[in-house]
Amino acid sequence: MSLWYTETFGDKIRFGLRVERTLFSERSEFQLIEVFETAAMGKALAIDGLFMTSERDEHYYHEMIVHPAMVTVPGAKRVLIIGGGDGGTAREVLRHPTVEQVVMVEIDGMVVDACKEHLPGLGNWNDPRLELIIGDGIDYVKRADADSFDIVLLDGSDPVGPAEGLFNASFYANVKNALRPGGVFALQSESPLIQRPVFLDVVRTVGEMFNTARPYFGPVLLYGAGQWSWTYATDSVDPMAINEAQLAHVESDCKYYNRDIHRGAFALPNDLRGLLA
């Protein structure tokens, strides 16, 4: 009999993977963390029953949360990542040689340890530019110096449990304070199809804090709906103004992201255009 791991969305949609074996399953102070070998997606990470990432499709997510911001902020030196415990987002940021420091604030050290052991290919943990802080990202941003980061990336899980406080106006206002003039804030903003109310709330609330809040889209098979969204927020940067020098550092080696994907990802479907007007 096959063992299946399934994630259910509102008791209406179910997405599952056949599991070959469980590699890690422990409850931390904050949440249940599981890593398992699957038949279709390689090793996969789940937290509190929700799929987070897998070896075979992680690049779709990590390249898209990182590079649209990185290639439109020329010479970005300091980047803050909130969350991102699997290491993939930091890995993609560190591919840019202009970066001098990446501060990554992850609340749950057990996530980091589990991924280092069982998903080591996701991270670049030994890069000396990476400063890993196990702590509360909400508090860190609240206390951060003004104008201290070129880019802030919110790589949080769904807005429940310890991640709930990462999706509100107070947090976004503190992020804005931490960004230097000409900086960019990018965050995952859920599925516009099966989590539409959350998606709309994120984009609208971020839009109240920044002059520009542009959602963009791409595929992430593991997240059930197929299509996923991120939101690009800034007071002064044009998300379509790709800096060729920044792009040249990463484009040829990305598995998914390139300049054409960048441009197309910001196209807004008519139904969402009407809702966000």
Catalytic residues: 155
- How large is the angle between the packed helices 196-209 and 169-178, nearest 10 degrees? 40
Identify the CA nearest to 46 among candidates 5, 105, 76, 94: 5
What lies within 8 Å, CB to CB, of 56 at 6+ separation is 40, 41, 42
